[in-house]
Structure 1
Amino acid sequence: MTVKSLIATFTQQEDLNFLLTNRVPRAALTRFMGWFSKIEQPLIRDLSIACWRLFSDLDLTEARKTHFKSLHDCFTRELRPGLRPPDPDPSIVVSPCDAIIGAHGAIADTELFQVKGAGYSLLDLLGDPALVDTHRNGRFITLRLTSSMYHRFHAPHDCRIERVNFISGDTWNVNPIALKRIEKLFCKNERAVIQTHLATGEALTLVPVAAILVASIRLHFLDVLLNAQSRGPTAFPCDVSVRKGDELGWFEHGSTIIVLLPDHFEFCDNVKDGACIRAGEPLLRKPG
């Protein structure tokens, strides 16, 4: 097979992937998945998990329990105690989740990028001019959770959660194929903007971004389930202190978390494009 034919085959596979995961009734499919995944009928549960295993690298050996009530129960599984301990170094901000590292780097004034050559603005992402000013010329990193990964996310450092803004939107797939084709994708999807400050005063913002089949984002410190039925943008003032590694919530399928920090934070040596990272592992460091 020639190089030209290999490229053509790869392009066709990308086209098919994009078609099957995006050119579908995304909102309806997501609502259906939210309903279907909670069915606690044993046969449906077992067939669903078996199908999931067939098309992914799902590994349940770290799960706290081995029996699940439903597909949703498996999606949102807890891990056995003692797994994912956060790096104890107080200068380290850790990864909030298991993920594949995507676009990351310096924010150019207020511009970020979802893949090389595809930019978007902080204002489009956050919807808050004051928060945009806070993160101007700062650092950002994109963490993509695949469908088979551990879906819960945790506090990346000791911090105080001050506000959550839920921004309603679409449910495009957030895989690399879609990121190359859909302009400003993260700014179009449903997302929660979680504003926090570290004890040392620096602003740390987490932006969990929903995607197709993500029926909701659950945050433990809010008594509201954030999903397509939420009317947004919706602001939730908070005053919650959390410690590094504390569980914050979960996605009900794979998705993305964007982490924003000031410019004096430096990426740790393990942060590389396409690398896998686990919750609690070093992400950025504050110079001493």
Structure 2
Amino acid sequence: MKASPTSPPLKPSLLQRLVHNEELNFLLTNRVPRQALTHLVGWYSRIRSRRLTRASIWLWRRFTELDLRDARKPQFDSLHDCFTRELKPGARHVDVRPEVFASPCDAIVGACGPVQGTQVFQAKGFAYQLGELFGPSQDTTPFHDGHYVTLRLTSAMYHRFHAPQDATLEHVTYLSGDTWNVNPVALQRVEKLYCRNERAVLNLRLQQGGHRVALVPVAAILVASIRLHCLDVRLHLRYRGPNEIACQEVFSKGQEMGWFEHGSTIIVFVPPGFTLAEGVAPGARVRMGQALLRLPA
């Protein structure tokens, strides 16, 4: 009996080859007027027109794996409405075990592991210091020799982020900055990229053990806007202060804390004694609510 001939592998389309060409990708997303383009896309995304939105989503799907089946709403009034979409009830399962530190968002895991004293890596060979990321006003001592996990949200992902544990948000530091793309191509070329970009440092105190942890949402090109439910201002390029914002907002595990206007990155920092959950490694995909780290025994 003859074996059936094997079908030749499908060749990627010209569009796919262009999108995945690293040199071209870097030029198109970084060697451009990043902040002006970010303002333009922010304006465009808020145009309320269902016809325009449907056409824009159709084009968006040509470049990404956009899946809207778990979205609460079947239709969107604007691209911004789609970017910041909510999920259907029950679309994510939150691991409620008290020893589990849950992922605050859907993401692809980037660099992660032990903090080496005060040194963290954004990519192989590209290090930065905790103080450079947190800013001069913050005490990073609790995270020295701790652990960190970099969570990259692609443009097609669910963009809201949630409390990883029962916790109190005690302080927010907003640091205005640039809008470099935070994709792997840029991380391997631009030193201390996260420390250059617009970002916020969210200092939380866990109810379990009183541990201090930090979430650092980092904005990027097309997405220089971070919104927190507990603040009455939008943190974005035109916001200049106050940079230090005191608050005492209590969140339960899995409760929504805020959202990005588009895809970007959240870097999680925990003190010594925490460990990475099973399967958490560079390249792994995680969903909001699943185990990301384990608290000290």
TM-score (norm 1): 0.94
Superposition deviation, residue 201 in structure 1? 1.2
Distance 1:170 1:130 in 2: 20
Q: Which of the numbers 194, 198, 211 marks the counterpart of 2:220? A: 211
Distance 2:21 2:76 in 1: 34
Superposition deviation, residue 273 in structure 1? 1.1
Superposition deviation, residue 233 in structure 1? 6.8
Superposition deviation, residue 232 in structure 1? 4.8
Letter in 1 for 2:254: G
Corresponding residue for residue 256 of structure 1: 265
Distance 2:157 2:64 in 1: 10
**1:171-226 deviation per Cα after TM superposition (whole angstroms, max 9, x unaligned):** 00000000000000000000010001111211110000000000410100100100
Runs of 4+ in structure 1 deviating by more than 4 angstroms, as ranges, are: none
Is residue 201–residue 216 contact of structure 2 (8 Å, CA) maintained in 1?
Answer: yes
Query: Secondary structure of 2:42's partner?
Result: helix
Distance 1:165 1:115 in 2: 24
Distance 2:34 2:127 in 1: 24
Tell me, which stretches of 5 or more residues in structure 2 are unaligned?
1-16
Corresponding residue for residue 255 of structure 2: 246
Is residue 33–residue 215 contact of structure 1 (8 Å, CA) maintained in 2?
Answer: no
Corresponding residue for residue 110 of structure 1: 118
- 1:38 equivalenced with 2:7 (yes/no): no
Aligned residues: 279
Q: How does 1:66-145 map to 2 (within 5 A)?
A: 66-128=74-136, 130-145=138-153
Distance 2:55 2:128 in 1: 40
TM-score (norm 2): 0.91
Distance 1:267 1:134 in 2: 17
Letter in 1 for 2:285: C
Superposition deviation, residue 129 in structure 1? 5.7
**1:6-33 deviation per Cα after TM superposition (whole angstroms, max 9, x unaligned):** xxx99x9211110001001100000011
Superposition deviation, residue 286 in structure 1? 1.5
Q: Which of the numbers 221, 224, 234 marks the counterpart of 2:243? A: 234
Query: Secondary structure of 2:139's partner?
Result: helix
- 1:225 equivalenced with 2:237 (yes/no): no
- The percent of aligned pairs where both chains have the same amino acid is 55
Tell me, which stretches of 5 or more residues in structure 1 are unaligned?
1-8
